[in-house]
Each structure stands twice: as structure tokens, then as C-alpha cells.
Amino acid sequence: MIDVVAPLQHHMGCLGITGLTAYFGLDRIAKVKCGETLVVSAAAGATGHIVGQLAKLAGARVVGVTGSDNKNRFLCEKLGFDAAVNHHSADLKAELDAACPSGIDVYFDNVGGPLLETILRHMNVAGRVACCGVVSQYDSDSPAPGPRGVPGLLITKRLRMEGFLLTDYHDEWHAASSVLADHVTAGRITPVEAPVDGLQHAPQALLDLLAGRNLGKVMVRVADDPKPTGGQT
């Protein structure tokens, strides 16, 4: 049962699992502070676009990483990211140097793989890495080995890398969702959602998601949404 305070698609996204994952990953694992530089991968995805906006509210400089120049423009022009880089760039290191001139204090990792390896070398001393997902490995039957530089870079830079599950904070979901709802209502967070109508389109929606063709939270709508009533459903 949930208290319906917004369109149901918000409860599937920014007020649900993906929004809560961003909230707890930042607050409990990354512990981002005002003035720090945060980089988030899959930044135009369901969790990443909320991570970036929450980090901006905390006073951080926010840099997104996506696989599309169009997505990067969207993040900077519509969601207020300070910069964005394309992980397909021929010189990703140079782009990261330009986007993060003071280095990286926090990395919110949604993809793992070679990008994590590159980011680790740009981290500042005492930086934090919140390990949320490994989307680069989800459609592979031969996952890549761990990034080079672990544990060497973790030791020399005194980095903390920690994974987490949203269920770790189950008892706090309701309170956190209320905070997120306040941000959305006040216009401090802009939810980005990509509902697909009809269960028959679910397989293609999943393929598009894995191929990185989506913006924001992908979901399949199987019926019309009821109007918010403030009650439970």
C-alpha cells in the first residue's frame, strides 16, 4: 500500500525505487557535501537524473556521464547539471579533466566496467564511490573483470568504495519519499519519465533501456492512471 500523492508514474520513479535509491545512495553512502564535485554515470537514466538534481540541491558541482551528446545537452539545459561528458568520446580523460578541474570527490556509479576504471584515476584523496549498479554488464554473458587500480588506487588515494541495496533502508522509505515529493511539488526536482503504453511493448522497452535509448525512468503503462486522491492504493 502507498499513499497516492502524485501521478502513479511518479510513484514508480522519482517517489519510488529509483528516487529512493538516489536519495539514500547520496545521503548514506556518498555523503556529498556543498562545494564538492560529484560525477554520476547513466546520468540521464532513471536514478542518475535524480542523483544529479539532489546533489545540486546539496550544493555540489555535478557532472553527468552519458553515451549521447543530446542527453548531455538535456542534462545541462533542462536539469541544471554543471557539465556532462560522453563516455564514447575519443579522449574521455581530457573531457573529464575539463569538466572536473578540481578532481572528483564523489562518484555515483550506475554502470561499472571501463568507465569506473577511468573515473577512479580522477578521484581526489578521500573520495567516495557509491556502487549502485553495473548496467554495462547486464546484457553480457561474460562480465568484465574488476577495474585495474583496485586496490592500489583505493589505498593511495584513501578512497571508500561501497555498495548498497535500497532494502537496507526499508524502514525509512516513507519519510524519504515525502522529502522527494516536497522537492517535486516545489519544482526543485524535475522528474523525467518515459512511459510506454501497452504490455505488448515491454520487450522493446527493455531492449531500448539496455541500449541507452531512453531518457529518465522507463515504465510500461497497462491502464489509465487514476487521479491522485491523497488516499492509499
Distances in whole angstroms, Cα of residue 8 to Cα of each of 1, 11, 106, 226: 12, 5, 32, 8
Which residue range is the domain that position 51 belongs to? 10-167
**Does a structural domain hold residue 205?**
no
**Does a structural domain hold residue 134?**
yes
**Does a structural domain hold residue 208?**
no
**Does a structural domain hold residue 118?**
yes
Please name the residues in contact with 151: beta carbons below 8 A apart, sequence gap of 6 or more.
Answer: none
pLDDT digits (tens, 9 = 90+) for 75-120: 999 999 999 999 999 999 999 999 999 999 999 999 998 999 999 9
**Does a structural domain hold residue 193?**
no
**Does a structural domain hold residue 28?**
yes
Range from 132-141, 180-189, 191-200 carrying the lowest mean pLDDT? 132-141
Distances in whole angstroms, Cα of residue 181 to Cα of each of 13, 129, 188: 11, 26, 10
Which candidate, 80, 83, 68, 88, places its Cα nearest to that of 192? Answer: 80
**Does a structural domain hold residue 196?**
no
Predicted pLDDT of residue 134: 80
Number of domains in the chain: 1
CATH value at residue 46: 3.40.50.720
Residue 146 has pLDDT above 80, yes or no: no
Instruction: Report the predicted TM-score, pTM, of the whole model to 2 decimal places.
Output: 0.86
Distances in whole angstroms, Cα of residue 176 to Cα of each of 16, 40, 206, 227, 232: 10, 21, 28, 23, 17
**Does a structural domain hold residue 93?**
yes
